[in-house]
Amino acid sequence: MLDTFRALGYVVRPITGTREERKALYDLAKKDLEKGEEFDYVYVESLSRPSNSRIDERYALKRLVRENLDFDFISFCERKNLRIGYFLRDLYWDFKDHFADEPLIKGLYLRLALKKYGKEELKFLRSRNIQVFCPTPLFADYLKSKWKVDAYPLPPGSDVVNSEKRTLETDSLEVFYVGGVSGLYNPKVFLDGFIQSESAHLTLCTRDSEKAKVSEYQKEGKVTLVSGSGKELQKFYRKAHIAVHPIPPFSYARLAHGVKFSEYIANGLPIIAFKGTHMAQFIEENQIGWTIPYQPSAVPKLISQIIENQPEYEKLQKNVLSMQVDLRWEKVVEKLEKKLLNK
């Protein structure tokens, strides 16, 4: 987003870093605003935890404590009549099964503490003249129905990396997944089905610390575990024919739009997803992949269908390439400004 703003000609004043670094930058911005400096608008992206909290570490113990720094600055900008956009990144604290993999005491503490600060964050957003953005329409519906917060969907974008037409090799279908393998993002249902597939191989990219959780799936040679990020992923994207987004159709996961999903499209890959999620709906509406029921038996059936129907693959891959322009970061900024500035 920052690079895109600058590429579009904006002079951007980023306020990032540690608490002390942000405080110094906030103080300077306040002084300049008091002197009459003008800004078109303020755009804020929340952390993965509620922005009115911070992690305090003492005596080898970590705990969440209240943090008012960012909200104080937002309130100051509001008093100066600046337009403010706030991207609410996460809402996982409102779903107890998100913490199921945590030890009992830690999970209970995180859930209660994060929910406390999360509710306060939403109360703050409701009480201010702030345009709230969120990742998906389902996310926006949930915010409206449960928390009475109006939000506008603003899915993440991605820089286009590969716009080449791909040919499906029916004797060796390469599938790629990059992401977590624990909690709600555990791809077990997909993996249990995939290892029953014929003539297909899956490269699964996850953190080294999480590989042990899915190491059993390597036994038959149909799954390879790797690690990498950023440009390191390009060799895996180039090799793949299809990407998979094996998020379950329940709890918080069904509301999300992962950054990697947009990255799959930017790399020209049609996508497999389970029905009942925002991602599945997006795939179906735009015809950029396949959606299947959330059960292992559906996976090998789909793999066989893909291998046996090369024209279908080519059609869907062509649709992916056509969609790339709509997911560029420039389009994300365009949508943001259209809503925030009433263009």
Q: Supply the pLDDT for residue 170.
A: 63
In a shared domain, residues 139 and 255: no
Whether residue 36 sits in one domain with residue 124: yes
Are 191 and 318 in the same domain?
A: yes
**Residue 163 resides in a domain:** no
Domain at 310, CATH number: 3.40.50.2000
Asked whether residue 30 is domain-assigned, the answer is yes
Structural contact between residues 246 and 266, judged by C-beta atoms closer than 8 angstroms: no
Question: Do 201 and 269 have their domain in common?
Answer: yes
**Residue 102: pLDDT band by 50, 70, 90 thresholds?**
confident
Q: Which amino acid is at 39?
A: F
Give the pLDDT confidence of 118-139 residue by residue, as tens digits. Answer: 999 999 999 999 999 999 999 9
The reply to whether 164 falls in a domain is no
Q: Is 88 within the bounds of a domain? A: yes
Distances (CA, A) of 304 to 171, 274, 301, 308, 331: 11, 17, 5, 6, 36
Q: Do residues 198 and 320 share a domain?
A: yes
Residue 295 lies in a domain: yes
Residue 213 has pLDDT above 80, yes or no: yes
Residues 209 and 143 in one domain: no
Residues 307 and 334 occupy one common structural domain:
no
Ramachandran angles phi, psi of 113, nearest 5°:
-70, -45
Residue 220 belongs to what domain range? 173-327
133, containing H or E segment: strand 131-134
- Give yes or no: residues 322 and 333 share one domain: no
Which candidate, 226, 232, 183, 188, places its Cα nearest to that of 207?
226
Question: How many domains, the chain?
Answer: 2
- The count of C-alpha atoms lying within 13 angstroms of the C-alpha of 136, restricted to the half-sphere facing its C-beta, is 21
- Residue 21 and residue 138 share a domain: yes
pLDDT single digits (tens) 267-281:
999 999 999 999 999
Asked if 132 and 196 sit in the same domain, the reply is no
Residue 83 domain flag: yes
* Residue 56 sits in the same domain as residue 121: yes
Instruction: Return the pLDDT at 5.
Output: 94
Identify the band that residue 303 occupies on the pLDDT scale cut at 50, 70 and 90.
Answer: very high
Q: Is residue 194 part of a domain?
A: yes
The type of residue at 251 is S
Do residues 145 and 24 both lie within one domain?
A: yes
**CATH code of 126's domain:** 3.40.50
List Cβ<8 Å contacts ≥24 apart for 91-96: 91/118, 91/139, 91/142, 91/143, 91/252, 91/255, 92/252, 93/49, 93/50, 93/118, 94/118, 94/146, 94/252, 95/184, 95/251, 95/252
Residues 20-68 pLDDT 10s: 999 999 999 999 999 999 999 999 999 889 999 998 887 667 889 999 9
Any domain includes 44: yes
